[in-house]
Amino acid sequence: MLRFIAKTLITAVAVLVAAYVLDGVHVKDSMTAVLVAAVLGLLNSFVKPILVIITIPITIFTLGLFLLVINVLIVKWASDIVPGFRVDGWVYALLFSFVVSIATYLMESLIGSTDKTRQS
């Protein structure tokens, strides 16, 4: 549970960074960013795997590029679910997913991994 909260807070900061960098992404306040991060985490955990499995043929046909469409759909659905979060179009949704991914990766690499590995 603690790991989910930490990941959500890191993603919330990344959402705020993306809203600052991209003109077509609007986040009302920091609590909205936390809610967006939680909704994105839940959609990515439960809905995205189902979409990936359903769209395997088209994903293979497009050499994996259809996964970008799935990412855009997840971001657009999050903007429909969370009040105070708006993404202006598919291009901004795609750019938002790139910026959030990069910012989350950078913050997690600076903070360090929360995984504790055992060596036997």
**Residue of 94, 98, 87 whose CA lies nearest to 26:** 87
What tokens were used for 97? 């997913």
Write out the H or E segment, with its range, that includes residue 65.
Answer: none
Average pLDDT over residues 83-102: 96
**What are 42-82's pLDDT values in tens digits?**
999 999 999 999 999 999 999 999 999 999 999 999 999 99
What does the pLDDT read at residue 118? 46
| pLDDT on residue 112 | 75
Which residue, chain included where needed, has tokens 């979409």? 51
Q: Which two tokens stand for residue 14?
A: 């990344």
Q: Which residue has the higher pLDDT, 78 or 113?
A: 78
**pTM for the full predicted model:** 0.88
Question: 31 near 81, Cβ under 8 Å?
Answer: no
Q: What span, in angstroms and rounded, lies between the C-alpha atoms of 21 and 99? A: 8
CB atoms within 10 A of CB 49: 10
| Segments making up each domain of the chain, as ranges | 2-110
Q: What is the mean pLDDT of residues 76-104?
A: 96
Give the pLDDT confidence score for residue 87 in this predicted structure.
97
Residue 1: pLDDT band with limits 50, 70, 90: confident
CA distance 37 to 41: 6
Alpha carbon distance 25, 86 (integer Å): 6
